Amino acid sequence: MKQKEFTPQAGQTYQNINENFYLCLDAGNCLPHKALMQNPKSLWTFTAVDCRLYEDGRIDWAYSTGGFFAKEAGRIPGPRCQRDGKSCL
């Protein structure tokens, strides 16, 4: 199945190729194809790196970093760095 580089959009929920759903909490405006994602059921939150979009609309990523279980759903934890007014993951 064909895939292309992709930067998720904050506030959108996506289905991964593993059939789970993930909410994009913050998109890597300074770093394309990278996003802070959260599984709404488990609250597992992580930065997805090298995001890909498949023809059928599902997504995947090469690897993730900084994973943790959030205390609340849909909230961006702690301070984020800023560069030119945009958040950088």
Residue 21 domain boundaries? 3-88
Q: What is d(CA 72, CA 76) in angstroms, rounded to the nearest whole number?
A: 9
Q: What is the mean pLDDT of each run of 10 residues along the chain (89 residues)?
A: 93 95 86 90 95 96 94 69 49
Predicted TM-score (pTM) above 0.85:
no
Q: What is d(CA 86, CA 14) in angstroms, rounded to the nearest whole number?
A: 22
According to the model, what pLDDT value does residue 32 have?
83
Q: What is d(CA 7, CA 86) in angstroms, rounded to the nearest whole number?
A: 14
Please state the domain count of the chain.
Answer: 1
